[in-house]
Amino acid sequence: MGLVYLLQIDEEVAKLLELKARLGGDDGKHQFVLKTAKGTRDYNPKQMAIREKVFNTIISCFKRHGAETIDTPVFELKETLTGKYGEDSKLIYDLKDQGGELLSLRYDLTVPFARYLAMNKITNIKRYHIAKVYRRDNPAMTRGRYREFYQCDFDIAGQYDAMIPDAECLKIVYEILHELDLGDFRIKVNDRRILDGMFAVCGVPDDKFRTICSTVDKLDKMSWEDVKKEMVNEKGLSEQAADQIGEYVSMQGGMDLAEHLLQDQKMSQSKQACAGLSDIKLLFSYLQLFQVTDKVVFDLSLARGLDYYTGVIYEAVLTQAGSTEESVSVGSVAGGGRYDGLVGMFDPKGRKVPCVGVSIGIERIFSIMEQKAEVSAEKVRTTEVQVMVASAQKNLLEERLKLTAELWNAGIKAEVMYKKNPKLLSQLQHCEESGIPLVAILGEQELKDGVVKLRVVATREEVSHTVDIHTAPHLRTI
């Protein structure tokens, strides 16, 4: 007994010594590890320049399609988010109770959007929203997955004729991926009603639809054998039902596949599936008019695990040529679908607002763009400075500052070194390192002659501009 007691004391002493070491020595200085929290990252100026370019491309596309923008709080009432994400609900970040409302960090931008519509009694809007969301995931940061990340959403809310807004969402995905030039891509399309109809005719019990749907959603990461094993062993589905599902989820095509399935002996028994298949046919007819069918494929394995989808669902994946004719998916870069019941969940009278939307997987896109920038010889500029105001001799600080102010006042992006007498060489080197294209050189002779020497940094070509340092509005011509 005494030995055990002594061992416990030793253990506690060791813990206290470890704690003391972590907190610092006897001098009381606090030592801590400088790192970002798990699943988060900092962005340096080069990464931010790439990010800004991507955002600008996406935002200009959203605006081209007539979207407005909104913002919502980064945290919501916990009950707002509960029960909307199926098996992914365990990934929601709950905030510590501060003695008031129970709050959680937003998991996506769609549920806050639905809450916003219901709360403000909005029945139609076309909006985009770009903001950070939070998931208590085990992140694979190399593949662009984080616990804190940006989402980039475009949604159309309102009662409209079938498949017209849905087709526009797919057109937007097509335009963005095409403009960003990330490589070849495919947009996979399916419908929740087709999935539910398929599950029904294959003998899946009603209460297992959502959980089997979540398993089918893993087909992009797992083999069919593993997915089947999960369905049968973990979810308790019969092997016969799983095999029938396997036959359907291997099917891919276009409008022709939808027509074929409408004639399918089993599938045609489900009214739900037939309604979904008819809409897929209609969708493809609009996609032909939008000239995007070369990248869109009707894929029965696409499930998307979120509980709130009610109709068409889609996902864009980047592909790379494989050793066979088939292309290999290298990851999802956009996803979305129709969710007609979500707003009604928040409305006291259960009034529904039909919605369809898409979320651009911005972090995955950043990772790809960063990798491309690394291998590219092209230098990424982190500033937009057009001209550096430099001096060739000493004691010209006042003149440099006056000219810089004139350039700023004329709307020109200009920079000056924060030294009274910088060396000309160091000023020119700064231009080369920062990618500043022009340098305006002031010297005593130039001041006497009333000119500024403009040098093109890349070619070293020089031209003299007549200028009055005190009034230089015509420097806009630079």
Q: Is 110 annotated as a binding residue?
A: yes
Q: Is 137 annotated as a binding residue?
A: no
Distance CA 319, CA 303 (A): 19
Q: What share of the chain is helix, strand, coil (3-state, %, to 5)?
A: 45, 20, 35
Q: Is 146 annotated as a binding residue?
A: no
Number of C-alpha atoms within 13 angstroms, CB side, residue 308?
30
Q: Is 308 annotated as a binding residue?
A: yes
Tokens of 207: 């209460």
Q: Is 93 annotated as a binding residue?
A: no
Q: Is 155 annotated as a binding residue?
A: yes
Tokens of 227: 């997915």
Do 334 and 61 contact (CB within 8 A), yes or no?
no
Tokens of 205: 């019990």
Do 443 and 392 contact (CB within 8 A), yes or no?
yes
Secondary structure (H, E, C), 371-384: HHHHHCCCCCCCCC
Distance CA 120, CA 229 (A): 46
CA distances (Å), origin 442, targets 55, 435, 452, 455, 468: 38, 20, 6, 11, 12
Do 161 and 285 contact (CB within 8 A), yes or no?
no
Where in 116-208 does DSSP place strands (E)? 125-134, 148-157, 185-191
Q: Is 302 annotated as a binding residue?
A: no
CB atoms within 10 A of CB 11: 10
Dihedral sign for Cα atoms in the order 237, 243, 245, 250 = positive
Q: Is 108 annotated as a binding residue?
A: yes
Q: Is 153 annotated as a binding residue?
A: no
Tokens of 225: 């054998």
SS3 54: helix
* CA-based R_g, the chain, Å: 30
Per the annotation, binding residues for L-histidine are 108-110, 135, 151, 155, 304, 308-309
Per the annotation, binding residues are 108-110, 135, 151, 155, 304, 308-309
